[in-house]
Structure 1
């Protein structure tokens, strides 16, 4: 996908398009009880897409996307997104939003969130990022503040 300078790519439209065509995926989703399973569906200059599976209880750490904007769509099951909320002059807290099958979420370059399958059934999702992910910073919330836990790099941690 080529985007003219100053025009933001619509990652949510791309995620919805990919999610709606599972017969076009080059692999079928797999579920791994030891860790979340993932597979790259699309790798184009400036854009990538991933297929992820989530067994009940599987989750990400609180993380950003290293300056990449993105979107995700829940293909099946329900995922819960936890985002950081900082009221004026207050401590940071996590706000939860349940996203059922068909729901999608687009986010900007500075978005910090955690995704968890808090339900009782497996879930599948499609995630799109632009530009491609190069780093992801993992955080923890301590006394109302975000603290960097680690910085993961493409090719090393995923």
Structure 2
């Protein structure tokens, strides 16, 4: 008869292996974002990589300058520059949601009665139907990054000031990431 000391010592790890040593069983990291948090994270990642976007920035004295920086399945990323006084006018983004991230300078967003000064690191997240106006009211140039999902296909202009009814937390959110 075998003694207890001679029996192999079994455990979950000895039977199934160490679950932390099995990275092939973990879910794959998605190649592209698919959630609001993922798109906001993409914007923060691009913002942190100044060498990627800063050499591309140009300024146009007659209109806002823009450059499509990246596309992926169902989204696009735009880099915009703003000289003092340049702005969008009141508009929405059609069926697209978006993330606006300030990279340099300061932008002012007006939505309904709310007015926000956005400085580098600030992000605004918005849903379809969110009406706002963005302007560089400062005395220095500004640069911003915009992620649209799905990609931007329309930007309807509004003749009145943005409607306060579309500025609640269901339609937009603001965070500051310094």
Q: Same fold (TM over 0.5)?
A: yes
From 91, 94, 107, the equivalent of 2:126 is: 107
For the pair shown, the structure with the greater C-alpha radius of gyration is 2
Shift of 1:10: 3.1
1:14 aligned onto 2:47: no
Task: Quote the residue 1:97 is aligned against.
Answer: 116
What are structure 1's unaligned runs of at least 5 residues? 85-93, 146-158
* Structure whose residues are more often strand by fraction: 1
Provide the secondary structure at the position in 1 that maps to 2:114: strand
Q: Are the structure 2 counterparts of residues 75 and 46 from structure 1 closer, same or farther at C-alpha, using a change threshold of 3 Å?
A: same
Task: Quote the residue 2:95 is aligned against.
Answer: 67
2: CA distance between counterparts of 1:109 and 1:56?
28
Over the aligned positions, Cα root-mean-square deviation in angstroms equals 2.2
Provide the secondary structure at the position in 2 that maps to 1:136: coil
* Structure whose residues are more often helix by fraction: 2
Work out whether residues 48 and 130 of structure 1, in 8 Å CA contact, stay in contact via their aligned partners in 2. Answer: yes
Size of the aligned set, in residue pairs, is: 133
2: CA distance between counterparts of 1:74 and 1:25?
13
Structure number with higher relative contact order (C-alpha < 8 Å, ≥ 6 residues apart): 1
